[in-house]
Amino acid sequence: MARRSGFSAQTLSVLASLEADPAAWLHGYLLARQTGLRSGTLYPILIRLAERGLVEACWEDGQPAGRPRRHLYRLSSEGLAAARAALAEQAPPLQPRAAAAGHAGRRRMAGEGA
């Protein structure tokens, strides 16, 4: 199936994670856990999205005890619009549940015509 949005499946998974809470700043390790992507795939995606102005990036404030500062990411306003459009484009078309169940689940009764 051809991609219509111009985003790879991996990029769409990153966009979906960021779009789930657009105001939150997320660090790369959390995004890796949410998407299942390895760092060699995830960070180039985040860099490309930031270069395109779709993702904002900053360093965590202060120096946390026992670990290095984290780089944080969130969608820009343009990125949020692009993510929502791309994710909506990728969603499978919905079939009315009642109509699909009504025809597929119905058994022919004795004496009914074909």
Summarised one tens digit per residue, pLDDT across range 23-33 is 999 999 999 99
CA proximity to 76, closest of 29, 37, 18: 18
pLDDT in tens, 75-95: 999 999 999 999 998 866 655
Residue given tokens 């105001």 in the structure block: 23
Identify the pLDDT of residue 1: 45
Helix axes 39-51, 9-20, angle to 10 degrees: 70
pTM over 0.85: no
**Strand ranges in 6-96 using DSSP code E only, listed in sequence order:** 26-27, 55-59, 71-75
- How are beta strands 26-27 and 55-59 bridged, if at all? unpaired
Q: Does domain 9-91 have CATH number 3.40.1390.20?
A: no
Neighbours of 7 (CB within 10 A): 21
- The ranges assigned to domains in the chain are 9-91
Structure tokens given for 40: 């060699």
Reply yes or no on whether the pLDDT at 8 is more than 80. yes
In this prediction, residue 2 has a pLDDT band, given cuts at 50, 70 and 90, of very low
